[in-house]
Amino acid sequence: MKKKQPKKRKPKKIQKPKPLRTVYNGIDVDGFTLADYQMEKALYDQLKAESNDENFSLLSLPQDNRLREIIENKRTMYLEFWNSKRIPTGGGRKSDKKILEDFKNLRSKKWKDILIKDANNNKIILWDFSSLDSGVNQYFPEMLDVPTTKGSVLDCLRDKDRFLNGYEKKILKPGFYKVEKTDSSFYSVFSQMIRMGSESHPVVNFPSLVAQYIVMESYYNTIKLNNGIENDNFVVLDECSGWAGRLAGILCSFHKLRNDYQSRYGRKLHITYLTTDPNKDVHERFAAIVNDWFSLVEPKHSLDYFHFHKQTLGCETPEFLSYCKGVLSDLNVSGANVALTSPPYFDQEQYSKDPSQSCVKYRNDYPSWVQNFLSGMIKNVYELLQPKGRFYLNIANTKKGSKLFPSETESVRLLKEHGMKEVVTYKMLLSGVPNKNCVNVTSVPNIKTKEIKLKKFEPVFVYEK
Ligand SMILES: C[S@@+](CC[C@H](N)C(=O)[O-])C[C@H]1O[C@@H](n2cnc3c(N)ncnc32)[C@H](O)[C@@H]1O
C-alpha cells in the first residue's frame, strides 16, 4: 500500500505590522552621542578651570569660542530638525514598536492600579505613574510648542542665549548623571534636559490610566443604578479632547467593559466617545489613534463596537449641544453615561489660534471666560447627561504674577448652580514641580520614591446630575 503523504501545511502568513500614523513616523533623531558629550564636558571643565572666575559662564565667552560654536551648531541643527520634521514631545522619538508596546501595556493595566491612599486622611488619590501615555503623546509633537508662562519649550531652541544657558545648566554642569550610565537612550535624556533647561513647563497629557479608572468606575456605577446600560451603548462625553490622554484611557478600558458586560448580561456592549476641541491642527490625529488602536491592538472587527464622534466646535456653544443631541438620538440613547474632561485653565496655555479656542475667544477677560466658557460648558454637560450621570471635572487655579484666577471655586459654584450634586473630590497626582498643592507619597508601597517625596496634585471634582 502506498504510504499516504502527510498533508503539506500551508505556511502561516506573517502579518506585517502596519506602520502607525504618528506624524514623524520613520524619522530618526541622531547627532549627539555619549562621546560628543564627554568631549564637550572636558572642554567645558578646562575652560572653567582656566578662567579663574567664580562667575564663569558660557555666555561670558567670546562668540567664536569653539565650545560655543559647537553648541550653537547643535541648536541650529535641532531647530532645523523641528522646523522640517518636528521632534516629539518629552524625550526622544519612540519607534512604532515601542509605541505599540506602550499601547498594549496600557490595555493590560488593571483599572484600580492607580489608586493610592493619602497617608494623612486615608482618602483616595489617583496616580498614574506608568508613563505609558508617552505612546499617545508621540502623535502630538505640537505639545512641545504650546506657549505657557515662559513661552513654549521650543522657544528655548529659538533663543540663542537661552539655549546656551540651559545647555550649560542642565548638561555641562555636574548632575547630568544619567549619561554616565548608558548611551543607548542618550538622545532622550538630552532632550529631556533641554526641556528642563529652558525653564518653560511643557503641557502635559491627562493621565490615561486615570481616565480608564474614571470610565470603569462610572460604568460600575451605571450598571448598579440601572441594571444595564441603555441600548447597550456606554457613552462617554469629553468636552475638550486635549491630547487624547482620555481617548487612550477609554480605549484601554474597551475590552474590560465589553468582557464584563458580556458575562453579566450576555449581550455585546458598544462604547461611544463623544468629544470636541477647536484645535484643528490635531483633529485628524484622533481618528489616526483610533484606527491604529483597532487595527493593531484589539481583535479584528472590534471597531464595530466603538463609536467615535469628534467635532471642532466650542464645547460651551449651543451648536455643540445640538450636535451631541443629534448623535445621542442616532444612537437611540437619552444621554451620556458619564462626562469627563480637563478644560483649558483660563488662558494659561495657548493651544491654537482657532477663533473658538477659549483663550482666543475670551482673551484677557476672566469674568467673561467664567460666565461664558466655564458656565456654558457645565450647562451643556448637565443637559447631555442621563439622570444620575456623573461629571468628572479636572481643573486648577492659575496665577498671573500675584493675580489669582480661582477656577476651582468658580467651577464648584457653577456645578451647583446648574443643579449638580457633589459626590467626591479626588486628588490627581501629576508630574511637575511640587507647589502649594502637594501630597506626601513616601508611604506608597512598590513605588520608587527615593527622590520624590512630594507630588503635585490637581482636583478632579465629581458631581452628579
Ligand atoms: C489640553 S486640555 C487642558 C490640559 C489638560 N491637562 C489635558 O491635557 O487634558 C485643554 C483643551 O481644551 C481645548 N479647548 C480650548 N477651547 C475650547 C473650547 N471652547 N471648547 C472645547 N475645547 C476647548 C484646547 O484646544 C485644549 O486641547
Whether 32 shows a pLDDT value over 90: the answer reads no
In this structure, the residue with its CA closest to atom 18 of ligand 1 is: 314
What is the 207 CA–ligand 1 centroid distance (Å)?
Answer: 14
pLDDT of residue 395: 97
Whether 185 shows a pLDDT value over 60: the answer reads no
Write down the pTM of the prediction.
0.86
How does residue 425 score in pLDDT terms, banded at 50, 70 and 90? very high
**What is the overall mean pLDDT for the chain?**
85
DSSP H stretches of helix in 3-108:
34-51, 66-85, 96-108
* CA pair distance 425, 442, nearest whole angstrom: 22
**Highest averaged pLDDT of the listed ranges 122-136, 197-211, 213-227:** 213-227
DSSP H stretches of helix in 349-449:
358-361, 366-368, 375-384, 407-417
Looking at the chain, the domain(s) classified CATH 3.40.50.150 span: 208-464
Nearest ligand 1 atom to alpha carbon 241:
27
What is the 283 CA–ligand 1 centroid distance (Å)?
Answer: 12
Whether residue 204 contacts residue 244, with contact meaning beta carbons closer than 8 Å, is answered with no
**Highest averaged pLDDT of the listed ranges 167-171, 253-257, 353-357, 428-432:** 253-257
In this structure, the residue with its CA closest to atom 26 of ligand 1 is: 242
Whether residue 33 contacts residue 186, with contact meaning beta carbons closer than 8 Å, is answered with yes
Whether 420 shows a pLDDT value over 80: the answer reads yes
- Determine the average pLDDT of the residues in 406-433: 93
Whether 424 shows a pLDDT value over 60: the answer reads yes
What is the 314 CA–ligand 1 centroid distance (Å)?
Answer: 10
Could you read off the pLDDT of 294-311 as tens digits, one per residue?
Answer: 999 999 899 999 999 999
What backbone torsions phi and psi does residue 433 show, to the nearest 5 degrees? -70, 130
| Other Cβ atoms within 10 Å of 65 Cβ, number | 15
pLDDT of residue 1: 47
- Determine the average pLDDT of the residues in 59-85: 86
* CA pair distance 319, 311, nearest whole angstrom: 10
Residue 431 — left, alpha, or beta (φ > 0 → left; ψ -120 to 50 → alpha)?
beta
Nearest ligand 1 atom to alpha carbon 356:
19
Residue 346 Cβ inside 6 Å of ligand 1? The answer reads no
What is the 302 CA–ligand 1 centroid distance (Å)?
Answer: 29
How does residue 28 score in pLDDT terms, banded at 50, 70 and 90? very low
Question: What is 153-192 written as a DSSP string?
Answer: HHHHHH-HHHHHHHHIIIIISTT-THHHH-STTHHHHHHH
Report residue 425 as a C-alpha cell.
473630590
What is the 348 CA–ligand 1 centroid distance (Å)?
Answer: 11
Bridge partner residues of 458 (DSSP): 428
Residue to substitute in 146, 206, 239, 277 for testing ligand 1 pocket (most ligand atoms within 8 angstroms of CB): 277
Residue 344 Cβ inside 6 Å of ligand 1? The answer reads yes
- Determine the average pLDDT of the residues in 387-414: 95
- Determine the average pLDDT of the residues in 59-87: 84
Whether 367 shows a pLDDT value over 60: the answer reads yes
CATH code reported for the domain at 208-464: 3.40.50.150
Residue 357 Cβ inside 6 Å of ligand 1? The answer reads yes
Residue 342 Cβ inside 6 Å of ligand 1? The answer reads yes
Residue 398 Cβ inside 6 Å of ligand 1? The answer reads no
What is the 280 CA–ligand 1 centroid distance (Å)?
Answer: 12
* CA pair distance 39, 58, nearest whole angstrom: 16
pLDDT of residue 447: 56
Whether 24 shows a pLDDT value over 50: the answer reads no
Residue 277 Cβ inside 6 Å of ligand 1? The answer reads yes
Nearest ligand 1 atom to alpha carbon 458:
6
Residue with cell 483660563: 346
Whether 7 shows a pLDDT value over 90: the answer reads no
> 246: closest CA among 222, 274, 225?
274
Residue 206 Cβ inside 6 Å of ligand 1? The answer reads yes
| Other Cβ atoms within 10 Å of 13 Cβ, number | 6
* CA pair distance 271, 232, nearest whole angstrom: 8
Question: Which residues, other chains included, contact 1 with Cβ-Cβ below 8 Å and sequence gap of 6+?
Answer: none
